[in-house]
């Protein structure tokens, strides 16, 4: 489903507030403006898994890693369940599910871990050079965008928009929620982290159907306060073969602090026209 509805948008903060607790978990009626085609936007499904987990077990340690499998379409009234697999002295392992009218849609696993003193405190993913967001052109400008994209603002720093036959399968974009009431926390960041289309799309000449298969996310910080709401997001396609594309996503705070590193596998359907030999940007 693409954009075109005149109905009021359901802001992310409003959406999360609608998640209701039930005897067997949590539930929410999925608004149409959060759809990606016929299913829930993947970043939202992941965020709902995390929201259910946090509500089920308050006072968890900081989240360190998460894995998501997108098994089927999430449509209609969504049910979320979460359970703790093991709670040790410093780490907690849990799993969560989102199910819809067509059965299980998303399976998630989380690892929460308490901080430990260590002699190592470094990162090897320096933030790319980028000026203030308002310097750059708007990113979400192409026609027939998925409904959920209307919930995000984007400013294109480098790379290209989808289906522009660009030479490099990469993009660097400032992103934030349009909903200013969305708190800068882990759940809202996770909902934003999947908002960019697959980077390989920049090399295509025309759109094709896609479906995210899996998403693995490492969280590199413990604080997600962000007064401006802007996050610097880089997506790079590492391969596209046999109908699947692997990509890497990195996210930084405006001050250059890395907060998230992720890998994603995307199924690509059809036979898209693209440039012959995509290359990485310098």
Query: Per residue in 12-23, pLDDT tens?
Result: 999 999 999 999
CA gap 271, 208 in Å, rounded: 8
Please state which of the ranges 46-50, 97-101, 117-121, 229-233 shows the lowest mean pLDDT: 117-121
Instruction: HSE, CB side, 13 Å, CA atoms: give it for residue 80.
Output: 27
CA distance 66 to 74: 19
| Among candidate residues 196, 194, 189, the one with its CA nearest the CA of residue 173 | 196
**CATH code for residues 12-114+136-268:** 2.40.160.210
Cβ distance 20 to 48 under 8 Å?
Answer: no
Give first-to-last CA distance, the chain, whole Å: 35
Residues 6 or more apart whose CB falls under 8 angstroms from that of 108 comprise 46, 49, 50, 53, 66, 67, 68, 69, 95, 96, 97, 98
pTM above 0.85, yes or no: yes
pLDDT in tens, 221-240: 999 999 999 999 999 999 99
Q: Is 185 in a helix, a strand, or coil?
A: coil
Sequence spans of domains, the chain: 12-114+136-268
Question: For 157-187, how does the pLDDT look when each residue is reduced to its tens digit (9 = 90+)?
Answer: 999 898 888 878 999 999 999 998 887 899 9
What pLDDT, on a 0 to 100 scale, did the predictor assign at position 273? 59
Torsion of CA 274, 200, 35, 155, to 10 degrees: -110
Alpha-carbon gap, residue 74 to 103, rounded angstroms? 8
Distance of alpha carbon 157 from alpha carbon 174, whole angstroms: 7
């Amino acid at each position: 489903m693409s954009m075109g509805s005149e109905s009021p948008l359901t802001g992310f903060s409003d959406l999360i507030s609608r998640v209701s607790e039930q005897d067997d978990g949590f539930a929410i009626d999925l608004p149409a403006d959060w759809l990606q085609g016929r299913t829930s936007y993947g970043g939202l499904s992941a965020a709902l898994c995390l929201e259910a987990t946090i509500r089920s077990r308050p006072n968890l340690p900081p989240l360190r890693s998460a894995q998501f499998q997108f098994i089927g379409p999430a449509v209609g009234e969504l049910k979320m369940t979460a359970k703790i697999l093991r709670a040790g002295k410093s780490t907690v392992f849990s799993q969560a599910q989102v199910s819809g009218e067509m059965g299980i849609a998303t399976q998630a696993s989380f690892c929460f871990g308490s901080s430990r003193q260590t002699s190592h405190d470094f990162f090897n993913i320096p933030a790319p050079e980028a000026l203030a967001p308002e310097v750059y052109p708007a990113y979400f400008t192409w026609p027939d965008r998925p409904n959920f994209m209307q919930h995000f603002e984007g400013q294109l720093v480098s790379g290209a928009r989808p289906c522009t036959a660009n030479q490099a399968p990469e993009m660097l974009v400032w992103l934030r929620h349009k909903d200013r009431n969305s708190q800068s926390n882990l759940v809202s960041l996770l909902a934003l982290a999947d908002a960019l289309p697959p980077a390989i799309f920049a090399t295509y000449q025309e759109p094709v159907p896609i479906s995210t298969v899996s998403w693995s996310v490492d969280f590199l910080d413990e604080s997600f306060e962000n007064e401006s709401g802007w996050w610097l997001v880089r997506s790079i396609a590492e391969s596209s073969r046999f109908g699947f594309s692997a990509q890497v996503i990195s996210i930084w705070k405006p001050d250059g602090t890395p907060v998230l590193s992720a890998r994603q596998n995307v199924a690509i359907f059809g036979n898209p026209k693209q440039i012959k030999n995509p290359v990485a940007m310098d």
